[in-house]
Amino acid sequence: MLSVKGTYKDGKVIIQQEIKTEKPINVIVTFLEEVKTPGVRRLDINKFSFKKARKLLEGYKGSLSDAIIEERRSAV
């Protein structure tokens, strides 16, 4: 495993040193500073209730899993 420093700006990661590889390799980017992402909503586990979720889905006749998969596919 290799660690290198870089900067993230305008949707791109700029690495401070050139890394030569024979083939494409997978990487993991870790943001070392707190990042505020406007408009990203996350589930607050403290506010989640299975009872309320079941109540909301009471009349739903389709597959919730299929609906979520389709929603995520259309977002890509």
Per-residue pLDDT, 69: 92
* pLDDT over 80 (residue 13): yes
* pLDDT over 90 (residue 61): no
Q: What are 48's two structure tokens?
A: 């989640």
Per-residue pLDDT, 36: 78
Q: pLDDT class for 22, splitting at 50, 70, 90?
A: very high
Q: What are 34's two structure tokens?
A: 């707190």
H/E stretch holding 37 reads none
- Domain map of the chain by residue range? 6-34+43-75
Burial profile 39-59: b = 16 or more Cβ within 10 angstroms, e = fewer: eeeeeeeeeeeeeeeeeeeee
Compute the average pLDDT of residues 6-16. Answer: 90
Q: Under 8 Å CB-to-CB from 17, ≥6 apart: which residues?
A: 4, 5
Is the full-model pTM beyond 0.75?
Answer: no
37-52 residue pLDDT tens: 777 777 788 888 889 8
Taking the C-alpha atoms of residue 49 and residue 56, their distance in angstroms, rounded to an integer, is 11
